[in-house]
Amino acid sequence: MGKWLYKRIKYLLSSLLEIIYTEDRVCFICESHIEEAFPICDNCNSYLPYLDKSVLEYNTILKNTYSIFEFQGKIKEMVYGLKYNKEVDKAKIIGDIMARFIEKEDISIDIIIPIPMHRDKLLERGYNHSLLIAKRIGSVTGIPVETSLEKVKNTPNQVLLSGEERWYNVRGSLKCNTLYKNKNILLIDDVVTTCATAHFAALEIGEDNNVSLLSFATTKKF
């Protein structure tokens, strides 16, 4: 009860501060004025490519694999803007949407862990977009965010690889620097395709835990 109350108080304080320090709220798509903290107006929200089924069926050790959208249209533009055009403000919008999903689905989580980037790619980009998203989710929900996963091998970009190549590419590239036991852990990533990265991340975290993945979007058709 105490943990739940702490999360709600933190969320309410965060919302109150946003109301105080934000002069105007606008929908990130149509830029119309909106009253609530959620960054999309009702009209635009109704046109976004929400998945019919939010729990995806992958054959992995993950407890659950959640995703919210199909990777197309405005959703694809948002992710590309965040990852490649340094539009870091998109992390707040994506994080708010994912936080609402977590609360709506009532997902039991002890710890949030973002999918890591190799230090060379981090130096090149300047930030880990998944970490930015995870921090926003944590600030809204009150769930602690930990960076215990490390990318120890600089792998080629998954976008250019086939499904089988993606699994081979990411194998052995991750390391968990914290010992977890009996924890409900939620991995955070922007887009999921084969689920290979999350699968090997869960293996590193350890099978004594319940590890799930939440991605903003999926490129796979179910």
Domain with residue 65: its CATH number is: 3.40.50
Identify whether residues 21 and 98 lie together within a single domain: no
Q: Is pLDDT above 70 for 158?
A: no
Torsion over CA: 94, 95, 100, 104 (sign)? positive
Identify whether residues 13 and 109 lie together within a single domain: no
Identify whether residues 42 and 60 lie together within a single domain: no
Q: At what angle do helices 196-205 and 163-170 cross, to 10 degrees?
A: 30
Q: Is pLDDT above 70 for 21?
A: no
Find residue 65's DSSP bridge partners.
Answer: 213
Token pair belonging to 24:
């105007």
Identify whether residues 109 and 203 lie together within a single domain: yes
Identify whether residues 94 and 18 lie together within a single domain: no
Q: Which domain holds residue 168?
A: 49-218
Read off the pTM.
Answer: 0.85
Identify whether residues 56 and 19 lie together within a single domain: no
Identify whether residues 19 and 74 lie together within a single domain: no
pLDDT score of 15: 54
Identify whether residues 18 and 60 lie together within a single domain: no
Token pair belonging to 171:
């194998």
Residue 17 neighbours by CB under 8 Å, 6+ apart:
none
Token pair belonging to 40:
């999309």
Of residues 105 and 38, more confidently modeled: 105
Confidence tier at 157 by pLDDT (50, 70, 90) = low
Residue 27 neighbours by CB under 8 Å, 6+ apart:
34, 39, 40, 41, 44
- Summarised one tens digit per residue, pLDDT across range 169-207 is 778 889 999 999 999 999 999 999 899 999 999 999 998
If one counts the domains in the chain, the total is 2
pLDDT score of 220: 82
Find out whether 146 and 135 touch, Cβ atoms under 8 Å. no
Identify whether residues 33 and 121 lie together within a single domain: no
Identify whether residues 184 and 96 lie together within a single domain: yes
Place of tokens 């862990």: 113
Of residues 25 and 97, more confidently modeled: 97
Mean pLDDT of the region 52-81 = 95
Identify whether residues 183 and 94 lie together within a single domain: yes
Identify whether residues 32 and 79 lie together within a single domain: no
Q: Read off the amino acid at residue 40.
A: I
Query: CA angle, corner 161, sides to 172 and 204, nearest 5?
Result: 20
